[in-house]
A and B are shown apart, each in its own frame.
Chain A
Amino acid sequence: MSTIRVEEPGLLTTVQDLGREGFGPLGVSASGAADPIALRLGNRLVGNAENAAALEMTLVGGAFAFPEGGVVALTGSDFGAMLDGNNVGTWESLEVPRGATLRVGPSRSGARGYLCVQGGIVVTPFLGSSSTHVMTGLGGYQGRPLRAGDVLQVGAATAPFRRRTVDPSVFAELWPHTIADRASGEPMRIRVTDGEQSAWFAEAARGAFAANVYRVSEQTNRMGIRLEGTPVAEQSGGRMVTEGVSLGAVQIPPGGLPIILFVEQQTTGGYPKIANVITADLASLGQLRPRDVVRFERVQVAAARSVLFRREQLLRSRKIIVE
């Protein structure tokens, strides 16, 4: 089995796959890649199943040595990487020579980058998934972010190296805002459907929520994306009883500043939810970084569904990967 040795771990680098669904009754949330599309495409570039475990890097990359060599792809935001002193690109498969070190820099766009490796990162699965749940210390590599000196096992390569890239014309549709439009400087648009308690908020509060722009707080992590800006007037239409919460739920806690529940979400919560981010925009959430500016756009569930179908069709099409 080949290995990867972590020489520099970056800011917060963890082992992630597409997460573990099904354990809500135990209080265990799914976790998994913050940008699942980047992970899926990265795995396809190196010839893996889409769910194979890879390294998720946050804002700052790291240095990774490949004593036995390997086939890798960097996806997600552009972190700028070098292999043996040469620049290498994002969204393409690469052959890493035996003994070489891949150096991944700070992000030049969104929050997260993925280092996918042919054969996948191999860790002991927890509840059927290799994902790290950082907050609870469960899953992944010893339940924690990587440190210098860690040695990761890589699964056996099943196919020879093939040079593959992702057709860049799809980016605007897959990350409509947080990757593609980042350069425009406009507030990034996050589409939401109504939350369970939307009707409890006064009309004016809901209008303000839709009209405001919010800044992503420094306190943002894989559990929740905290927003700063004009507070939303608290609801007065009902009495909250703790209940299950969805991925992407937009909670309005006392104080009125929204919190979006993210991949390491709590499974239940007691704050009212004014909205929920649509599934097709969850990958965009994974690319939000502190100080980014967002605004919410309300859509109907049917519209959210058709966006999801179109996106999935695009993702599954063969032509998205160019050989």
Chain B
Amino acid sequence: MADITRFQPASDQSLMVYFGDRITPDAHRRVRALLQLLQTQPVSGVRNLHPGYGSILVKFDALTLTHDDLERALRTRVARLDSVQLPEPRLIQIPVYYGGAFGPDLDELASSHQMSAERAIELHTSGDYLVYFIGFVPGFAYLGGLPDSLATPRLSIPRRAVPAGSVAIGGHQTGVYPIATPGGWRVIGRTPLAIFSPARAEMSRFAIGDRVRFVSIERDEFEEMARA
């Protein structure tokens, strides 16, 4: 297979590694594999890694490393990507209370697709989603796999604060807000689980490559889990 890996300086202290310019399973596998290689066998002088859908941004100490040296070190690792053993994806179940005060946009979202709220919930919980990467804010999982029939444009005016745990749809994406932030996605429910918790050994509930399934729960189950 032709090597389509492309290296490009992003700043005077960072280098972008692109595996193509589309969101594909192969590009995602390569991102995961290179990330794992760089975490288990770090390149001296590399300070941070920011994975994306089909790329990894490598930040480095420009006083000890140059773009050329880093690119050379990365190329030797990229050449070995096909032999990297990736851990089996985990299946992470996320309980969600849909609608009501926790999902203020559910009814409008459903009716914009000429379906009932129940049907929208059924669709949202029907398949597995892939965690392409964690980014933007701590613990936020970029998920792939939203059914096309649920894709909905973002709100024209973003909310000033979306509560932590909110489950939302924005365009062709769906996700869970790990912390309260401003946001323009349509909020359809909320999970009682802490998505990002500094007190836990594994701070982020999601990891790159995980499979995610949303499970609809009742209000009393939500309250019980939230207390746990």
Q: Which residues of A contact B (CB under 8 A)?
A: 21-28, 30, 126-127, 135-138, 193-196, 238-239, 241-249, 266-269, 273, 276-279, 301, 304-305, 308-309, 312
Is there an interface contact between B12 and A305, defined as CB atoms closer than 8 Å? yes
Bound CA span A246–B63, Å: 17
Is there an interface contact between B48 and A304, defined as CB atoms closer than 8 Å? no
Question: Which of A24, A194, A277, A304 has the largest count of B CB atoms less than 10 A from its CB?
Answer: A24
Q: Please judge, given known A-B contacts A241-B21, A244-B51, A249-B11, whether A27 and B59 are in contact too, CB under 8 Å.
A: no
Nearest Cβ in chain B — how far from A36, in angstroms? 13
Residue of A21, A196, A266 touching B16 (CB-CB under 8 A) = A196
Is there an interface contact between A305 and B140, defined as CB atoms closer than 8 Å? no
Residue of B nearest to A273 (CB): B10
Chain A residues in 8 Å Cβ range of B196: 27
Q: Could you list some 23 contacts between A and B, CB below 8 A? A: A21-B47, A21-B48, A24-B48, A25-B39, A25-B49, A25-B134, A26-B134, A27-B138, A27-B139, A126-B198, A136-B137, A138-B198, A193-B11, A196-B8, A241-B55, A246-B11, A246-B59, A266-B137, A268-B135, A268-B142, A276-B12, A301-B67, A305-B12
Is there an interface contact between A278 and B12, defined as CB atoms closer than 8 Å? yes
Chain B residues in 8 Å Cβ range of A30: 48
Is there an interface contact between A279 and B11, defined as CB atoms closer than 8 Å? yes
Residue of B57, B63, B138 touching A26 (CB-CB under 8 A) = B138
Bound CA span A309–B133, Å: 34
Chain B residues in 8 Å Cβ range of A241: 21-23, 52-55
Nearest Cβ in chain A — how far from B157, in angstroms? 15
Is there an interface contact between A25 and B51, defined as CB atoms closer than 8 Å? yes
Nearest Cβ in chain B — how far from A48, in angstroms? 21
Nearest Cβ in chain B — how far from A176, in angstroms? 16
The 0/1 profile, CB within 8 Å of A marked 1, for residues 137-167 of chain B is 1111010000000000000000000000000
Is there an interface contact between B48 and A23, defined as CB atoms closer than 8 Å? yes
Question: Which of B10, B63, B196 has the largest count of A CB atoms less than 10 A from its CB?
Answer: B10
Bound CA span A193–B51, Å: 22
Residue of A nearest to B9 (CB): A301
Range class of the B interface residue count: 35 or more
Is there an interface contact between B137 and A25, defined as CB atoms closer than 8 Å? no
Bound CA span A29–B7, Å: 22
Is there an interface contact between A279 and B13, defined as CB atoms closer than 8 Å? yes
Q: Please judge, given known A-B contacts A24-B49, A26-B204, whether A243 and B57 are in contact too, CB under 8 Å.
A: yes
Is there an interface contact between B48 and A242, defined as CB atoms closer than 8 Å? no
Chain B residues in 8 Å Cβ range of A242: 52-53, 135, 142
Known: A195-B10, A279-B12. 4 other contacts (CB 8 A): A26-B138, A193-B11, A242-B142, A308-B62
Residue of A nearest to B179 (CB): A136
Is there an interface contact between A267 and B12, defined as CB atoms closer than 8 Å? no
Q: Please judge, given known A-B contacts A26-B139, A27-B136, A244-B55, whether A268 and B48 are in contact too, CB under 8 Å.
A: no
Q: Please judge, given known A-B contacts A246-B59, A276-B11, whether A238 and B21 are in contact too, CB under 8 Å.
A: yes
Is there an interface contact between A276 and B10, defined as CB atoms closer than 8 Å? yes
Nearest Cβ in chain B — how far from A9, in angstroms? 22
Chain B residues in 8 Å Cβ range of A266: 135-137
Residue of A25, A239, A244, A301 touching B21 (CB-CB under 8 A) = A239
The 0/1 profile, CB within 8 Å of A marked 1, for residues 19-53 of chain B is 00111000000000001000100000001111111
Residue of A nearest to B204 (CB): A26
Residue of A24, A135, A136, A308 touching B59 (CB-CB under 8 A) = A24
Chain B residues in 8 Å Cβ range of A238: 21
Bound CA span A309–B65, Å: 12
Chain B residues in 8 Å Cβ range of A308: 12, 62-63
**Interface residue B226 (Cβ < 8 Å from any Cβ of A):** no
Chain A residues in 8 Å Cβ range of B23: 241
Bound CA span A238–B67, Å: 24
Is there an interface contact between A267 and B54, defined as CB atoms closer than 8 Å? no
**Interface residue B203 (Cβ < 8 Å from any Cβ of A):** yes
**Interface residue B94 (Cβ < 8 Å from any Cβ of A):** no
Chain B residues in 8 Å Cβ range of A195: 10-11
**Interface residue B208 (Cβ < 8 Å from any Cβ of A):** yes
Bound CA span A246–B23, Å: 21
Chain B residues in 8 Å Cβ range of A246: 10-11, 13-14, 57, 59
**Interface residue B126 (Cβ < 8 Å from any Cβ of A):** no
Chain A residues in 8 Å Cβ range of B53: 241-243
Bound CA span A283–B151, Å: 42
**Interface residue B56 (Cβ < 8 Å from any Cβ of A):** yes
Bound CA span A194–B14, Å: 12
Is there an interface contact between B13 and A245, defined as CB atoms closer than 8 Å? no
Bound CA span A279–B11, Å: 8
Q: Please judge, given known A-B contacts A25-B208, A196-B8, A268-B50, whether A245 and B57 are in contact too, CB under 8 Å.
A: yes
Nearest Cβ in chain A — how far from B146, in angstroms? 15
Chain A residues in 8 Å Cβ range of B67: 301
**Interface residue B181 (Cβ < 8 Å from any Cβ of A):** yes
Is there an interface contact between B48 and A22, defined as CB atoms closer than 8 Å? yes
Bound CA span A21–B62, Å: 14
Is there an interface contact between B52 and A27, defined as CB atoms closer than 8 Å? no
